[in-house]
Amino acid sequence: MSAPMTARTIDPHAPGIPFGRELVVELRKLVGTRGPWILLGVMGVIWLIVIAVVLGVPENPMTFGSTLNGFGITSRIFVGVLAILLVTSEWGQRAVLTTFTLEPRRERVLAAKLCAALLGALVVFALGVALAALVTAMRGGSFGGADEALRYYGIRALFDLLMAFAMAMAVLNTAGAVVAYLVLPEVVVPAILFFGSVAASDDYGRDSLFRSVGPWIYPQESMSVLQSANPGAQGWAQILVCAVIWIGLPGALGVYRVMTSEVK
């Protein structure tokens, strides 16, 4: 005869999963699949091309800021896509059901994913700065304006990462989130501003209206003030409004969707 089974009771006072362990799990997800490594490999190839171009054209003057910008454009795009994959891949594969079963506190899962994405972005940021400094020194370039270049690179990278994370939460689909992240702020908005300005150029100042609204809703234009020594109060206000539009609104929608969506 088999031994009788005793029912196990759930202890509601037992401690939950430590946040550090959740962070380690999310970091493993970030580096433990082929997708992120493929993206990082492509980014590395592009960085090698940037280095070859900079070192291969010695007659062109160069600065630390221009070199860092060459690395920064690529890293911002790919780090944003990595953040999207970290959020949406589980939803596409239904693995999120297992995740939320092991950790029902969904807000902690989101926080762990965000921290993992920030740590990954920090590594890429530091590597980009180191390579830009090395290439600039090898070429004998100027380090003038390095403070402004670092400020622009750091804030723009953080902005793009948070925007990608917010888009991923709002859409919960990899392809849709990537399109929203790359196309909406960088293609749709400037196209509307451009064609609206052209169409209204002779119509009682509406052209100036389209031009004046650009720094408040177009990230590329609002962030450009960071390259100056003193962005000013208006410049910081434009960045804040842009962050509310592209990070705050989709982020709030995304948190609501993640917290309330039924996982099947």
pLDDT tens by residue, 210-238: 677 888 888 888 888 888 878 888 889 99
pLDDT above 70: percentage of residues in the chain: 87
Which pLDDT score is estimated for 179?
93
pLDDT tens by residue, 28-84: 888 877 877 888 888 888 888 888 887 776 666 678 888 888 888 888 888 999 999
CA angle 138, 79, 262 (to 5 degrees): 175
Q: What is the dihedral of CA 81, 83, 88, 94, to 10 degrees?
A: 120
Residue 1's pLDDT band, with cuts at 50, 70 and 90, is very low
Buried b (16+ CB within 10 A) or exposed e, 50-61: bbeebeeeeeee
Give the chain's length.
264
pTM of the entire predicted model? 0.86
What value does the mean pLDDT of the chain take? 83
C-beta of residue 96 within 8 angstroms of C-beta of residue 175: no
pLDDT above 90: percentage of residues in the chain: 26
Chain CA centroid to CA 89, Å: 16
pLDDT tens by residue, 165-174: 999 999 998 8
Which pLDDT score is estimated for 210?
66
Pairwise CA distance, residues 212 & 210, whole Å: 6
- In this model, does residue 96 exceed pLDDT 90? no
3-state secondary structure 109-134: HHHHHHHHHHHHHHHHHHHHHHHHHH
C-beta of residue 130 within 8 angstroms of C-beta of residue 58: no
Greater model confidence, 212 or 162: 162
Which pLDDT score is estimated for 166?
96
Q: Look at 91-95, 241-245, 248-252 and tell me which has the smallest mean pLDDT.
A: 91-95
When pLDDT is averaged across residues 97-119 and rounded to a whole number, the result is 88
Q: Look at 98-102, 104-108, 197-201 and tell me which has the smallest mean pLDDT.
A: 197-201
Residue 11's pLDDT band, with cuts at 50, 70 and 90, is low
- In this model, does residue 18 exceed pLDDT 70? yes
Pairwise CA distance, residues 218 & 128, whole Å: 25
Sign of CA dihedral 191, 192, 197, 202: positive
Pairwise CA distance, residues 150 & 156, whole Å: 10
Chain CA centroid to CA 209, Å: 30
Q: Among residues 155, 214, 154, which one has the least CA distance to residue 189?
A: 214
pLDDT tens by residue, 117-137: 999 999 999 998 998 888 888
Which pLDDT score is estimated for 110?
92
